[in-house]
């Protein structure tokens, strides 16, 4: 349905008369607006906005043509419909780089540095860090992939915006892992990777706390990331390395969910049945979604 809407916009957008809306120029304001509107951020560095940004689109005849993202009012209208677009001032570069230095991979840093479009969550974390080789950005495909509605994350995002600590980072990471189950296959690995940034942040908050309980919570969420990606055998190997006798009672339901879903993915009904009674109704639904995504 979303693809159909986009195609209609491409076909008829040039027939409409509209006033081009200027992109935002404050990343902080863009973050706030994205939070309110349950959208992701569509960002580019200021220097890149001074030149043409060629993208591949379809014209009224359905032919693929190259046009400039920044000068085409119809494309601008679509960007505003699905994202919060922002041009990031070059003066912010050093401060933003310092926030992620030592906390992100070189691949992430390279994406941060380049002049391509960056899709960010409301906290400024980049989703589209995967290397993609193309002559021109396929605009319809790109928008269809990243035009996500993020109200599912609202409560955890709100708590994190108020205060960043172990609990808020951990809960937001966990919620992002759940959210990865709900999105399409193409973007799921990127959402899982995004959840990992918050898990790492939660881990950093407990740097001076060698709490076995908290470390185990982080480990179990990491295993859940693996499960969401459908890697059941790896999940079971990881679980076997954990001393279940030392698992905190609050994590019993998660462990049951991990075992139950992994065995179902492997079509091992015998072992799955041993865990079924320990899995909540909410987790049963989540389990069904993971299995549906896999098959």
Among 109, 129, 146, identify where a domain stops: 146
Among 125, 146, 167, identify where a domain stops: 146
CATH number, domain at 58?
A: 3.40.30
- What is the model's pLDDT at position 286? 96
pLDDT, one tens digit per residue, over 217-242 is: 999 999 999 999 999 999 999 999 98
Q: Are residues 21 and 126 in the same domain?
A: yes
pLDDT, one tens digit per residue, over 228-285 is: 999 999 999 999 998 877 788 899 999 999 999 999 999 999 999 999 999 999 999 9
Among 129, 146, 163, identify where a domain stops: 146
Q: Are residues 30 and 79 in the same domain?
A: yes
Report DSSP letters for the chain, one per residue: -HHHHHHHHHHHHTTS--PPPPPB--HHHHHHHHHHHT-EEEEEEHHHHTS--EEEEE-TTS-EEEEETTT-HHHHHHHHHHEEEEEEPGGGHHHHHHHHTTTS-HHHHHHHHSSS-EEE-TTS-BS--S----SSEEHHHHHHHH----GGGHHHHHHHHH--SHHHHHHHHHHHHHHHHHS-TTTHHHHHHHHHHHHHHHHHHTTT---HHHHHHHHHHHHHHHHHTT-HHHHHHHHHTS-GGGS-GGGHHHHHHHHHHHHHHTT-HHHHHHHHTTS-HHHHHHHHHHHHHH-
Q: Are residues 99 and 156 in the same domain?
A: no
Q: Are residues 170 and 259 in the same domain?
A: yes
Q: Are residues 14 and 49 in the same domain?
A: yes
Q: Are residues 278 and 156 in the same domain?
A: yes
Residues spanned by the domain of 34: 2-146
> Rounded CA gap, 83 and 146, in Å?
9
Q: Are residues 162 and 131 in the same domain?
A: no
Q: Are residues 101 and 17 in the same domain?
A: yes
Q: Residue 212: which of 247, 186, 183, 241 has the closest Cα? A: 247
- What is the model's pLDDT at position 20? 60
Q: Are residues 268 and 219 in the same domain?
A: yes
Mean pLDDT within 5-17: 41
> Based on the structure, what is the number of domains in the chain?
2
pLDDT > 70: what percent of the chain? 93
pLDDT, one tens digit per residue, over 129-152 is: 987 777 889 999 999 999 999 999
- What is the model's pLDDT at position 54? 93
Entry pTM: 0.90
Please check the confidence at residue 118 and state whether its pLDDT lies above 80.
yes
Please check the confidence at residue 30 and state whether its pLDDT lies above 90.
yes
Q: Are residues 50 and 157 in the same domain?
A: no
Q: Are residues 240 and 168 in the same domain?
A: yes
Q: Are residues 6 and 140 in the same domain?
A: yes
């Amino acid at each position: 349905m979303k693809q159909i809407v986009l195609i209609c916009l491409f076909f008829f957008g040039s027939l409409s008369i509209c006033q081009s809306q200027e992109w935002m120029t404050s990343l902080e304001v863009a973050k706030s607006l994205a939070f309110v509107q349950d959208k992701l951020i569509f960002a580019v560095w200021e220097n890149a906005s001074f030149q043409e940004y060629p993208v591949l689109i379809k014209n009224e005849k359905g032919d693929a043509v190259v046009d400039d993202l920044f000068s085409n009012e119809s494309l601008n209208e679509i960007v505003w419909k699905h994202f919060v677009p922002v041009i990031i001032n070059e003066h912010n570069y050093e401060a933003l780089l310092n926030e992620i230095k030592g906390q992100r991979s070189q691949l992430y840093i390279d994406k941060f540095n380049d002049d391509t479009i960056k899709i960010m969550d409301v906290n400024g974390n980049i989703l589209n860090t995967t290397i993609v080789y193309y002559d021109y950005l396929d605009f319809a495909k790109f928008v269809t992939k990243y035009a996500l509605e993020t109200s599912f994350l609202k409560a955890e995002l709100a708590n994190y915006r108020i205060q960043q600590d172990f609990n808020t980072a951990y809960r937001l990471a966990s919620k992002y892992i759940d959210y990865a189950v709900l999105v399409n296959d193409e973007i799921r690995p990127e959402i899982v990777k995004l959840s990992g940034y918050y898990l790492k942040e939660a881990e950093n908050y407990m740097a001076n706390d060698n709490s076995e309980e908290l470390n185990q919570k982080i480990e179990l969420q990491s295993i859940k990331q693996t499960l969401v990606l459908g890697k059941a055998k790896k999940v079971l190997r990881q679980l076997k390395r954990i001393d279940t006798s030392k698992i905190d009672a609050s994590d019993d339901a998660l462990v049951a969910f991990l075992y139950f879903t992994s065995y179902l993915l492997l079509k091992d009904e015998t072992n799955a049945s041993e865990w079924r009674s320990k899995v909540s109704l909410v987790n049963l639904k989540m389990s069904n979604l993971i299995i549906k995504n896999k098959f």
